[in-house]
Amino acid sequence: MAANAHPSGNERRPDRPTMSSARIAGGIVALLMLVSLAWLAFASMGPEALVEPTVSIEATGSPGAASGVVAADALRDRSRLLYDRTQSETVDGVNVATGGAPQADLTARQGVARSREIVEKWRAPGDVTAILRKPDMIRGTSSLPYENADILEQPEGRDWRRERNGAVAYGGGWLILGVLLALALFLFARGRIRIAEGPAGTTVERFDAAERANHWMTATAFVLLALTGLVILYGTPLLLPVIGPEAMGTLAQVSAWTHMASMVPFIVGVCIMIALWVRDNVPTRLDWNWLKAGGGFASEDSPNPPARRFNAGQKIVFWGVVIGGVSAFASGLILMFPFALFGYVGMQWAQLVHAAIGLLMIALIIGHIYIGTVGMQGAIDAMWSGQVDENWAKEHHSIWYDRITDGSRSTKRLSNSKSSRPSPAAGE
């Protein structure tokens, strides 16, 4: 009977699997996203935020007594006077406190007595018969030289505000944080997608200088659009309590102008992308097979489905940028020239559509950035140097690789089973 063999102290024990730095980072980000989503869920269940007046205007009339009535009369008359003179372009050098307006000293004071009570009264529906009537615009007096600036209340305003601050704002938060959580969990579970056969050491050209320059111009413009758009949408609830009103006012103004200026290189870049790549991004049956196989990303043993120059995932990004970019451009123009084409309802829909498209595109591009950087080995080289490793090209774009090399350099097709690949670093 043979004795059982025991490993000696000099024998090498099998390596235990270790966690790579990429997977550890994915786990940390996933935890942060879970905490952020929990906070978002808690915030979304809170009461509706009301915009309450914070500044009151008082006037000292001739008797010397402060009077809200005198202040209201003075403000109304002076605003009407300034508006009329602005429209007639005679406001320069004119003292707007004259010309029939009450002679009173106006003083702005912080704080409004019973401000919430005032707002609740504004929100009250009134008698039942008023509900049956078509709501009308309520106009006041404004010194701002903008069309419809004197409309203080309009029928769809409450609905627009509820959707903008509710479905769009919270929905965008769930979308962006949810995408970040999904990608972080994928990185934690899967690790980086490595080149199965390892780098070949030889490269092929994937994008030329013109394509790369246009890509980075469009990408830079989009990042500016995304960041400034997020400031415009979320700045008041998230940043205002932290940086204060003065800094928030400056940041909001800079963000608004940067947002509009960045639109120009972005839409130009999108148009150039259409001219350069639309032919290679026409959907085919091959794309459906790629999607069913999950691009071969599910595990190390998943086969890489064949793909042409752009796979189905890249085509989704392309058409998302094209359709979303053109739609955001159109709705943005409507917002830049208010009431030129539409009334209040059209402007409100343009704002909601513009915000929703922007949030969807941000979520899409986050996925695109992930797979092009930390998610996949060798992917960043395509847009950085324009050259990609030959093994990377054979694995992820086999049909395109065969076409550009005429099959002469592809002497051995990568096995679908990937059984002959070298083992990647432990835990990756």
C-alpha to C-alpha distance for 321 and 328, rounded to whole angstroms? 10
380 in the same domain as 287: yes
**How confident is the model over 66-70, as a mean pLDDT?**
54
Is residue 32 included in any domain, yes or no? no
Give me the chain's average pLDDT, please.
81
Is residue 64 included in any domain, yes or no? yes
Q: What is the pLDDT of residues 246-270, one digit of tens each?
A: 999 999 999 999 999 999 999 999 9
DSSP assignment letter at 303? P
Is residue 296 included in any domain, yes or no? yes
101 contacts 81 by C-beta, under 8 angstroms? yes
Return all residues near 11 (Cβ < 8 A) that are at least 6 apart: none
Burial class (CB in 10 A: 0-12, 13-18, 19+), 260: middle
What is the CA 428 to chain-centroid distance, rounded? Answer: 30
C-alpha to C-alpha distance for 211 and 195, rounded to whole angstroms? 24
And the tokens for 92?
Answer: 């320069």
150 in the same domain as 193: no
Better-scored residue on pLDDT, 128 or 321? 321
211 in the same domain as 86: no
**How confident is the model over 128-156, as a mean pLDDT?**
64
169 in the same domain as 154: no
Burial class (CB in 10 A: 0-12, 13-18, 19+), 148: middle
334 in the same domain as 223: yes
Q: What count of other Cβ atoms lies within 10 Å of the Cβ of residue 283?
A: 11
Is residue 230 included in any domain, yes or no? yes
205 in the same domain as 145: no
**How confident is the model over 269-289, as a mean pLDDT?**
96
Asked if the model's pLDDT at residue 345 lies above 70, the reply is yes
Nearest to 370 by CA among 173, 228, 199, 186: 186
Is residue 98 included in any domain, yes or no? yes
Q: CA end-to-end span of the chain, whole Å?
A: 43
Is residue 51 included in any domain, yes or no? no
Task: Specify the residue for token string 């730095």.
Answer: 21
Alpha helices in 302-380 (DSSP H): 312-336, 344-372
C-alpha to C-alpha distance for 208 and 196, rounded to whole angstroms? 26
251 contacts 243 by C-beta, under 8 angstroms? yes
204 in the same domain as 262: yes
Is residue 38 included in any domain, yes or no? no
Alpha helices in 7-109 (DSSP H): 21-44, 68-87
Is residue 268 included in any domain, yes or no? yes
212 in the same domain as 148: no
Distances (CA, A) of 94 to 106, 107, 144: 18, 21, 16
347: domain CATH number is: 1.20.950.20
245 in the same domain as 320: yes
376 in the same domain as 328: yes
Strand partners, 109: 56
192 in the same domain as 113: no
Q: Listing from the earlier edge strand, what are the strands of the sheet with 105-110? A: 66-67, 55-60, 105-110
Q: The whole model's pTM is what?
A: 0.78
196 contacts 395 by C-beta, under 8 angstroms? yes
- Tell me which residue range forms the domain holding 209: 160-405
| DSSP H/E element including 66 | strand 66-67
Q: Residue 135 in 3-state DSSP?
A: coil
203 in the same domain as 141: no
Q: How many domains does the chain have?
A: 2
Supply the pLDDT for residue 84. Answer: 59
Supply the pLDDT for residue 289. Answer: 94
Better-scored residue on pLDDT, 326 or 422? 326
Sign of the torsion angle spanned by Cα atoms 163, 167, 169, 170: positive
Nearest to 396 by CA among 297, 315, 280: 297
Q: What is the pLDDT of residues 377-416, one digit of tens each?
A: 999 999 999 999 999 999 999 999 999 988 555 434 433 3
